[in-house]
Structure 1
Amino acid sequence: MANLFINQAKQYAESRPCYPDQLFQFISSMTPSHDLAWDVGTGSGQAARSLAKIYKNVVATDTSPTQLENATKLPNIRYQHTPPIMSMAELEEKVAAESSVDLVTVAQALHWFDLPKFYEQVKWVLRKPNGVFAAWLYTLPEVNNAVDDLIRRFYNNPHRDPRRLLVDDKYSSVDFPFEAVERAGSTGPFEFVTERVMEYDEYMTYLTTTSVYQKAKDNGTELLTADMVEDFRRAWNGDGGSGQKVVKFPIYLKIGRVGK
């Protein structure tokens, strides 16, 4: 998955939405201590930066060194390049020791993972009992009816990876072998929203960083044809508003804890 974004790592870092403070306040309220968090598939570190405000130390890992180069550096974040598949020995060397992590997070990436193997490692590093695992995603951005209709057309094409179906159903059907945190009442998904003010060009740059666009491009297909770009431009400007739009990204969170 990381290879999809290597060539556009800088654009990816600049165009991704930030996550709301309420999301991290909710997640961190579920962990008894705030010593160490592991952000998996950190990309350019959007989630890691917010975690670093709450947890004493954050390990942020990704399989793409190019993505990590574009991450904001903070003194309590350790960015670590990891292979796509790690042994337990590598996990201990590169990430953390057994039962030492308060929180493991995955933002917009869980659907790409080998879940049985990954969950084994999550349960190994989390503190027992009550270490917390949290995974979230955002669904298609919302601008106005005309733009939103076009982005659905943009996504619904033969190059779309079937694993994105887990995103479509908001992780409701994803395998999630964790117990509900008592304060949460269930494992979710819980809904949040983040907003970003974007110009038309920024929005189109965001589209070029999506996995569906990158896969089509790798297969020799240009999804953003001249006609499609013009359709987006008309839809963006057609409501009589300014060039800037408030773009909403609905977020869905799954959260649970390990037992003894």
Structure 2
Amino acid sequence: MAEHFLKQAKQYSDSRPSYPSELFRFIASKTPSHQLAWDVGTGSGQAAQSLAEIYENVIGTDASEKQLEYPVKLPNVRYEHTPSIMSMAELEQKVASEGTVDVVTIAQALHWFDLPTFYRQVKWVLKKPHGVIAAWCYNVPRVTDAIDKVFDEYAVELKPYWDPARALVDNNYRSIDFPFEAVDGADDTRPIEFVSEKEMDLDDFLTYLRSGSAYQTAKQKGVELLSEDVVERFKSAWTEDGCQLKVAKYPVYLRIGKVGAPEA
């Protein structure tokens, strides 16, 4: 899905929410060692930067060269442009050798992947036993009742332009294939909910809406979903309480699992 974001990569970098520190602490608590993390579909590097505070080294990969222009450069993070589907040789060359990765993370991207191929590669690079895969998605932001009402009406117009894979996000990753063992302390691999918060004004919020792939798809087809009338309705709801800055709350749903011991 890299092509969806080529033209609006800077908007995407600026408007995406960060992820709560509790999410990364929870993931790290499930990996016995903290030497190497692979952040797949790293985009503008939000998750990679947080991982870099916990893991000695982080590799962030993305199929979009444009997206990789925007991550903050850190001494223990290496960014790599990779093809959408890598061969095993490319995986070893660009990412890591077999059995050397502590955790593989995928933020808001797993629903775009060729899952059988990707999972085979995840199981190859992860340390055995107890190497961890952590994939999460965030759903629509909640701001205030008035803004949420306008957003939900706007989302109805947006829905025909979502890629079908988006349905996996709407379902909070409950139905996505996830063939891994439960991590220590968990009974299963069902989604675990966290909350991400982002302070923004109306312009930030509209930038977030315009950075979405469905909005861009509609625009490419000559449909402007954020018409003057819709923007005016958002503006009226946003200024209803006289406060310009709002806290948008994004529910984040984590699927986390581990690989077992290598087969004899």
Normalising to structure 2: TM-score of the pair?
0.96
Written as runs of structure 1 = structure 2, the 5 A alignment for 1:148-167 is: 148-156=148-156, 157-167=159-169
CA contact (8 A) 1:30 1:181 kept: yes
**Deviation for aligned residue 1:186:** 2.2
Deviations 1:191-228 (CA, angstroms, capped at 9, x unpaired): 11011110100000011111211121222211111111
Distance in structure 2 (CA, Å) of the matches to 1:152 and 1:90 = 43
Is 2:229 the partner of 1:221? no
Is 2:185 the partner of 1:194? no
Q: Where does structure 1 differ by over 3 angstroms across 4 or more consecutive aligned residues?
A: none
**Deviation for aligned residue 1:11:** 1.6
Deviations 1:13-57 (CA, angstroms, capped at 9, x unpaired): 111111111000000000010000000000000000000000000
- Tell me the SS of whatever aligns to 2:7: helix
**Deviation for aligned residue 1:10:** 1.4
Is 2:248 the partner of 1:247? yes
- Tell me the SS of whatever aligns to 1:187: coil
CA contact (8 A) 1:155 1:212 kept: no
CA contact (8 A) 1:166 1:174 kept: yes
- Tell me the SS of whatever aligns to 2:129: coil
- Tell me the SS of whatever aligns to 1:223: coil
**Deviation for aligned residue 1:235:** 1.3
Is the deviation greater in 106-115 or in 177-186? 177-186
Written as runs of structure 1 = structure 2, the 5 A alignment for 1:49-198 is: 49-156=49-156, 157-198=159-200
**Deviation for aligned residue 1:256:** 0.1
Instruction: Give the aligned partner of residue 9 of structure 1.
Output: 9
**Deviation for aligned residue 1:152:** 2.3
Distance in structure 1 (CA, Å) of the matches to 2:36 and 2:154 = 39
Aligned residue pairs total 259
RMSD of the TM alignment (CA)? 1.0
**Deviation for aligned residue 1:184:** 2.8
Unaligned runs of 5+ in 2: none
Distance in structure 1 (CA, Å) of the matches to 2:192 and 2:208 = 25
**One-letter code aligned to 1:244:** L
**One-letter code aligned to 1:257:** K
**Deviation for aligned residue 1:3:** 1.2
User: In percent, how many aligned pairs have the same letter?
Assistant: 61
Unaligned runs of 5+ in 1: none
Distance in structure 1 (CA, Å) of the matches to 2:116 and 2:150 = 36
Distance in structure 2 (CA, Å) of the matches to 1:133 and 1:64 = 22
- Tell me the SS of whatever aligns to 2:255: strand
**One-letter code aligned to 1:79:** Y
**One-letter code aligned to 1:91:** L
Is the deviation greater in 178-187 or in 192-201? 178-187
Distance in structure 2 (CA, Å) of the matches to 1:150 and 1:88 = 47
Distance in structure 2 (CA, Å) of the matches to 1:61 and 1:186 = 28
- Tell me the SS of whatever aligns to 1:193: strand
Is 2:260 the partner of 1:259? yes
Normalising to structure 1: TM-score of the pair?
0.97
**Deviation for aligned residue 1:77:** 0.3
Distance in structure 2 (CA, Å) of the matches to 1:155 and 1:113 = 24
Distance in structure 1 (CA, Å) of the matches to 2:105 and 2:57 = 13
